[in-house]
Structure 1
Amino acid sequence: MQNLVWLRIQGRFFVLLHIEILIMLNVMISCYALNCLPEEAFRIFNSMRSDGANGDEFTFSSLLSICDILEYYNFGKQVHSLILKLSFESDILVASALINMYAKNEDVIDAKRVFDKMAIRNVVAWNTMIFGCGNNGEVINVMKILRDMLFEGIFPDELTISSVLSSCGYASAITETQQVHALAVKLSFQEFVSVSNSLITAYSKCGNITNAFKCFRLMLEPDLVTYTSLINAYAFHGLGKEATEMFEKMISCGIKPDRISFLGILSACVHCGFVNTGLHYFKLMTDVYHIIPDSDHYTCLIDLLGRHGFVNEAFEFLKSIPIQAESNMLGAFIGSCKLHENIELAKSAAGKLFAIEPEKIVNYAVMANIYASHNHWLDAERVRKTMRDKNVAKFPGCSWIQVGNQVHSFVSSDKVHPKLLQIFATLKMLLSSMKEENGVKL
C-alpha cells in the first residue's frame, strides 16, 4: 500500500516537473521571439521536440510571431502544418497568430481561410483580420469584416476602430472614414487618444484638414502622437504656418518632441519654402534635444536647401553629413539639380545613386530626362541603353477614384479593369464632345 502511494506521488511529481519545464521553455522561446532572435527560438523548440514535448498554444503563438517576416514565412507554414497535426488550429490564441503571420506576409487569402475556420472568434481575432486586410490596402474587405463583426454581436474596441480608420486613410476613403467616425461617437470611443489620432490622420489623408483639426480640438489631453499627427497633416497639405504654430504650441505645453515630430515639421518647411525655419528646427533637434538625425532628416534638409535655390549649399551639406549618403538623400539632391538646371552636380550624385540602386528604374529615367532637357543626347542615350541592358521596366504611376463604396485604381495602359469597355466608351464620348465644342473636325 505504501509503495502504491509513493508511485502515485512520483507520477504527480513527474507531471508537475514536466509542466514547469514546459513553462520555462515557453518563456525562453517568447523572450527570444520578443528580442528578434528567431534562430535561438527555433533551436529551443527543436530541443523541446527532441525530448518528446510537443509544445502548447503559447509555444506556437510565440513561434508564429517570429514568422511574420518574409525570411521566416516558410518556417511559419511548417509550424502551421504541425499545428494542424496536433489539433491546435481551433485555439483562439494560435489562430490569431496564424492570421497575423499570413496577413503580414501579404497572404490575405490564407489568413481569411484560417479566420473562417475558427469556431469561436473573439475581438482579438477580428482585430487581427481587420489589421491584416488594412495593411494590404483592402479597405472594402475591412469594412465588410467590421459589418460582419457587428452582425455577430461582437462589439469592437478602440483598437478595432483605430485599425479601420487607418485603412480608410490609406485608401483616401472619405465616406468610410465618416461612417467609422459616426460609429466611434456612438460607441463613445472618440475620447480614446488612439482613436482621435487615427481620425486626424484619416481625415488628413482624405483631404479634409478641417475635420482633422476639429478632431484635435475636441481632445481633452492631446499627446505627442496627437500633435505629430496634426503637424504631419498640415505638412501634407502644404500649410507650413499652421504646422509651425502647432509645433510651438506642443513645446509650450511641455511635450517633448521626438524624431518623428521633427521630421514632420521639417517636411512642412520643405513644402512651404521655410528655409531659415527649417534650419532652426534642425539645429534645435540636434543641439537642444540631442536627437541624432537619421537619413530621413538629412533628406529633408537637403531637399529644403536644394529645392529652394541653395543647390551648392545642399551639395556641401551632403558631403559633410557623418553617415554615408543613402539613395533618398541623393534622389532629393538630383531632383533639386533638375529643378535648377545644375547638370554637373546632378551627374556627380547620379554616379553614386546608380551604384547604390543599380536596378531602380526611376533613377535612370530622371537622369535621362535631365540630360535630354539640356540637349546632352549622347548621355541621355547612354543612360537609356543602360536601362535596356538591365532589362528594367518603368513602373507606371497609379491614380484612383472612389465611386460609391469602392475604390478604383488605374495605371497607364490598364487593360484589366472589369469595366474597361464602359470606361473607354465614356472616354470616347467625352473626347468627341470636347472636339465638337472646340471646332475640331472628327
Structure 2
Amino acid sequence: MNLQRLVSRRTVTCLSRLNGRLLSQCSYSERNFSSLAPIAPPSRALNAPCNYMVRKWRFQRSDIAFIRCFHSAQEVGESETEDDDEDGTMNEFLSRFVWIMRDKLKQAYPDSDKSTIDAMLLVIAEKVVDEIKKDGIDKMLLGAAPSVPSADFSEDLWRMVWEVSSKVLGDMEKERKKEKLKRFLQEEEVKDMCRFAGEVGIRGDMLRELRFKWASEKMEESDFYERLEVMRENAEAREEEEEEGGEEAKAYGAQEEAEGVEGGPMEEKRNVLSLPKRRGKFKYKIYGLDLSDSRWAELADKIHEANEITWPQEPKPITGKCKLATDRILSMKEEDDPSPLLAEWKELLKPSRVDWMNLLDILKEKSIRLHYKVAELLLSEESFQTDIRDYSKLIDAYATENCLEDAERLLKKMHEDGVSPDILISTIVVHMYCKVGNLDRAKEAFDTLRAQGFRHNIKAYNAMIMAYVKAGQSKSAEMLMREMEARDLKPTEEIYMALLQSFAQQGDVGGAGRIATTMQFAGFQPSSESCTLLVEAYGKAGDPDQARSNFDYMIKIGYQPNDRSVASMIAAYQKKNLLDKALNLLLVLQKEHGFEPGVSTYTVLVDWLGKLQLIDEAEQALGKIAELGEAPPSKIHVSLCDMYSRAGLERKALQALGVLEAKKEELGHEDFERIINGLIKGGFYKDAQRVNGLMAAQGFTPSEPLKVALEGSQSAAFKGKRPSPSGR
C-alpha cells in the first residue's frame, strides 16, 4: 500500500507548517527529541498534570493513518507495500495512546499549536512502535519500565511515555476481560444457578453479585483450561523437535558405547513443562487421612444403613372407603365424639404421623374446635408418635383463646402420661394465668419454674410484672423487676412505664421517682408520657408544687404541653382547691404556647366546678366538649350525676344515671361510692339502693361510711322524708 495514502492530508499539512526554526533544530532522521527545547522541556513533561479520562471513541481513517505512520517526514512520498489486513490490537493500542498523550502534551505545552502537537505525537508514536517491535508487547504489559531510557527522549519524557503505554495496555486488558465476562454471564449454567437462587428467595443486589461471581468463576475455569491447552501444544512441539534429533542422538550414543566409554558424563534430559500422566485413581487427603481408600466407602455405606437419612415424607393418598371415612369425620359437629370414626379411619389407612398431621391440617381449615378435640385424642395414639411439642402447641392454643379449663385439663393429662413440663410449657402457663388475672395461679406456675431449676426468661418476668401491676401490687412488681436486673435481664421500656403508671395512679411519689430514676440509668430518656405520669403522681399525693415543678421541667426539655399533661396539672390544683392558679395556668399556656384545652382538661374542669356546685360554669365547659365533636368519657357522667343529684335536679340527675347504668362495667369502686353518696344527698334513696345493687354485682364492697349512709337512707325513705336544698 502506498504510504502517501496511509498518511492523511491533515498530517502532511501539519508537518509542512512547522516553522523554519523548528525544522532547523529538529532532524527527523536522528529524531533527537531531547534536543528540542521548545517542544519537550523535561521539567514541563515531568510536571504535566496527569488527570484525564479514558473514553470510548473512534478515530477516523485519517487518524489511524496518522498514528500508524512509522516513518519520518523525509520518507513521505516513498512507496512501499504492506499487508491490507491491519492489526486490530495495535490500532486500538495506538488510538488510546495518542488520545492520552495528546491531552498530556496540550497540558504541558499550552502555547503550542495543533501542528506542533501533531509533530510531537508522530515522533513519540514511532518510537513506541519501535520499542514494541524490539521487546514485544508482553514486556509493556508487565508495567515495568526499561532500566536504560531511550537515547532519543529525555528521562522524564520516556518515563511518562512508558507509564501511559502501561496504562493503555492495562485498560485494554480490562476491556477484554469485561467483554469476555459478558459472554459468560449468558452461559446456561450461570442462568440455571440464578433461576435456582431466585426460587429460594434471593433477589436484588445479592442475586446480581452472585451472578457476576459465578460468571467470573466460569471465566477463570475457562482460562485455566486454555492455559493447559497451550502448555500441551508447547509440550507436543518440543517432543516433535526431540524426535527429529532422536536418530542423531542414538548414533552418538552407539558410538560412545563402541569406544568403551563407561561412566562418562551423560547429557541431562531437558525438562519438559507438561502435566504428568495420570495412572490409577486420584488420591486425596483431608487432615492426613487418605479418603480415596475403599474402606471409607464401606464405612459410609454402613453409617447410611445404621442411620437412614430422613427426608420429608408425603402423606398416603386418601381414596375409596378411606375417603368416605374422612368425609364423615369432616362433617361431624363439635359436640360429637370422633373416636369411632378415627378408629375406622386408622384401620383403613394404617396411618403414620405424617398422615395424622395431614388430617389435623384439614380439620383445622374446617373447624378449629373439632381440630382441638381430635388433636387431644391423638395424644394417646401410638402411631401418632406424640412428643412434648404436641402438648405445648395445644396448651398454647387453649391459653391464647382464654380456654382456661381446657388448658388445665391438658396439663393434668400430661402429668398422668408421665410427661414433665419443660420451660416452654411452664412459661405458657405463666402467661395464661397472668392474662386472665389469676395472680395466685400465676405465682404458683412461676415458682414451679424456679423449683425445676429453669432459668427464667424475660417473657416470663414481663408477664408476672404486668400481672402484679394489673392487681395493683406495684411494690411486688418492682421487687420482681429488681430481681430481673440482678439476673442481667434488662427490663423493657414497656415494663418501666407500666410500673410508673401504677405508682402514679396510687399517688406513690416515692415509687414513681425510683422508677423514673432507674429508667434514666437504664438509658431511657425522659419522655412526655413519663413526665406526665410524675405530674399525675404528685397531683394525687396532694403536692401541686412538685407537680408544677415536673410540669415546667417537661416544657424545659422540649416537650410541648398536651391535653393529658395539662389535665393532670389541673387535677393537682383541684386537690388543694387552687382554682385561681389553675385558671392562671390555662391563660399562660394559651398565650405562650397556643394551647387549647381538650376533652381531658374540660373533664377535670367539669368535675371541679360540679363539686363547687357551679352548675352554669360546669355546663359551659361541657358545651366545649360537645364543640370538639368527641364523646364525653364515663367519668364526666359520674361528675354530672353527682352535681345534679346534690342540686336536686331530678331529670338531669336521672338522665346522667341512665348513661352510667349502661356503662356499669367501666365504673370503679370510687365511682360507685360517689354516685351513691350524691343520690343520697339529693334524696334519691331508691335510686341509691338500686345503684348499690349494681355495685355488689360488679364485685365491689361498700365502705363503712357508705354503709351507714345507706342505712340512714332506708329509714328516711320509709318515713318519706327528703332533705331540703339547704341540707345539700
After TM superposition, the score normalised by the length of structure 1 is 0.59
Identify the residue that residue 491 of structure 2 maps to in structure 1: 156
SS at 1:137 equivalent: coil
Unaligned runs of 5+ in 1: 1-6, 29-39, 381-442
Superposition map of 1:407-422 within 5 A: none
Percent of residue pairs bearing the same amino acid type: 12
Query: Quick one: which amino acid aligns to residue 335 of structure 1?
Result: N
Task: Mark the CA change 1:61 to 1:324 in structure 2 (over 3 Å): closer, same or farther.
Answer: same
SS at 1:218 equivalent: helix
Identify the residue that residue 389 of structure 1 maps to in structure 2: none
2:711 corresponds to 1:368: yes
Query: Quick one: which amino acid aligns to residue 292 of structure 1?
Result: A
Superposition map of 1:1-400 within 5 A: 10-11=313-314, 45-46=372-373, 48-49=375-376, 60-61=395-396, 63-67=398-402, 73-78=404-409, 80-81=411-412, 89-91=422-424, 94=428, 96-98=430-432, 100-101=434-435, 103-105=437-439, 107=441, 109-114=443-448, 116=450, 119-169=454-504, 172-219=507-554, 220-221=558-559, 223-236=562-575, 238-240=577-579, 249=589, 257-258=598-599, 262-285=602-625, 287-293=626-632, 295-307=634-646, 310-312=647-649, 315-320=650-655, 323=658, 326=661, 332=674, 335-336=677-678, 339=681, 345-347=683-685, 349-350=687-688, 352-353=690-691, 356=694, 365-370=708-713
Higher normalized contact order (CA 8 Å, seq sep 6+, divided by chain length): 1
**Superposition deviation, residue 208 in structure 1:** 3.5
Contact kept? 1:334, 1:350, Cα under 8 Å: yes
Task: Mark the CA change 1:300 to 1:210 in structure 2 (over 3 Å): closer, same or farther.
Answer: same
**Superposition deviation, residue 300 in structure 1:** 0.9
CA distance in 2, matches of 1:46, 1:223: 52
Unaligned runs of 5+ in 2: 1-309, 317-352, 380-385, 722-728
Pick which of 241-250 and 113-122 moved more: 241-250
CA distance in 2, matches of 1:367, 1:224: 38
CA distance in 2, matches of 1:336, 1:194: 34
RMSD in angstroms over aligned alpha carbons?
4.8
Task: Mark the CA change 1:187 to 1:371 in structure 2 (over 3 Å): closer, same or farther.
Answer: same
Query: Quick one: which amino acid aligns to residue 432 of structure 2?
Result: L
Q: Which has the larger radius of gyration?
A: 2
CA distance in 2, matches of 1:76, 1:246: 55
**Superposition deviation, residue 262 in structure 1:** 4.8
Query: Quick one: which amino acid aligns to residue 11 of structure 1?
Result: E
SS at 1:368 equivalent: helix
Pick which of 330-339 and 268-277 moved more: 330-339
CA distance in 1, matches of 2:362, 2:497: 34
CA distance in 2, matches of 1:247, 1:158: 32
SS at 2:684 equivalent: helix
Contact kept? 1:239, 1:268, Cα under 8 Å: no
CA distance in 2, matches of 1:44, 1:242: 64
CA distance in 1, matches of 2:406, 2:419: 17
Contact kept? 1:279, 1:301, Cα under 8 Å: no
Contact kept? 2:484, 2:490, Cα under 8 Å: yes
Query: Quick one: which amino acid aligns to residue 147 of structure 1?
Result: R
CA distance in 1, matches of 2:644, 2:614: 10
Superposition map of 1:423-438 within 5 A: none
Pick which of 320-329 and 292-301 moved more: 320-329
Task: Mark the CA change 1:239 to 1:76 in structure 2 (over 3 Å): closer, same or farther.
Answer: farther
SS at 1:291 equivalent: coil
CA distance in 1, matches of 2:575, 2:368: 42
Between the two proteins, the alignment pairs up a number of residues equal to 346
**Superposition deviation, residue 179 in structure 1:** 2.4
Task: Mark the CA change 1:192 to 1:334 in structure 2 (over 3 Å): closer, same or farther.
Answer: closer
Query: Quick one: which amino acid aligns to residue 434 of structure 2?
Result: N
Task: Mark the CA change 1:241 to 1:83 in structure 2 (over 3 Å): closer, same or farther.
Answer: farther
